[in-house]
Structure 1
């Protein structure tokens, strides 16, 4: 099962459109997880039109229309793994312990907000993944998203993809 993980798309606030490689990855994925900060409903509509299965949450920059359509936390089972998606997890210091305590029923937590790619495992085994942002790199060297696969009840082949700088 192929997964696409993204967050903080911020269209049209930070970018006029989504990068073509990201859209191609949406089309290729079995499940797309978006950890919030869509900013406009058209972006959500686009993901819904292209994703085979979409799991998304709202972020702090998402207004009432998006909050009416999305939850703050989403939970889904994929290939025998229990995933959660949330926008904010708080400061990086202590994140693993905080998330493991808050989400003891999950195997993998996908989150966003910071625009900083993150891949760690908390004590107890909770995997924490932040795909960064495909449109707003902030102080990061690249705009990014992640892909992964679920195979045999395990998360494998987690990859951080760097997007080219816009022209």
Structure 2
């Protein structure tokens, strides 16, 4: 099962639309996971129409209309991998322990908020993945997203993709 991990799209606040390479990745994915900060319901509608399957949560920049349609934490089992998707996990210091305590029945936690790509594993806890942002790099050198494969109870092929400058 091919997964696309995105977060902090901030459309249309930071960009008018998602970059074309990201739309191509949406088309290639079996499941799109979005870890919040959509900003506009129109992007949720567009991804729901285009993605084979969409799993997402709301973020701190998402208003009432998005919060009415999305959970704070989304959960799914994909290819035997138990995933949770949440926007905020707090400061980097102590993140692994906090997330292991908060998500004890999770194999992989996808999160956003910082716009900083992250890939770590909590001791005895979940693997933590932040795909960064495809539209707002902030202090990062590139806008980014991630892909992975979930099959046989394992997550493999986790890849951070850099987007070309706009």
How many aligned positions are there? 166
Deviation at 1:16, TM superposition (A): 1.2
Distance in 2 (alpha carbons) for counterparts of 1:26 and 1:50: 7
Deviation at 1:17, TM superposition (A): 1.1
Structure 1 segments unaligned to the other structure (5+ residues): none
Partner of 2:18: 18
Coordinate RMSD, CA, aligned: 0.6
Which residue in the other structure is 1:51 paired with? 51
Q: Which position in structure 2 is the counterpart of 1:79?
A: 79
The aligned runs of 1:1-167 (5 Å cut-off) are 1-166=1-166
Q: Unpaired runs of 5+ in structure 2?
A: none
Aligned 8 A contact 2:106 2:125 in 1? no
In 2, Cα distance between the equivalents of 1:59 and 1:8? 8
Q: How far apart, in 2, do the equivalents of 1:32 and 1:39 lie?
A: 17
1:150 CA drift (Å)? 1.2
Please give the alpha-carbon distance, in whole angstroms, between the structure 2 residues aligned to 1:50 and 1:3.
14
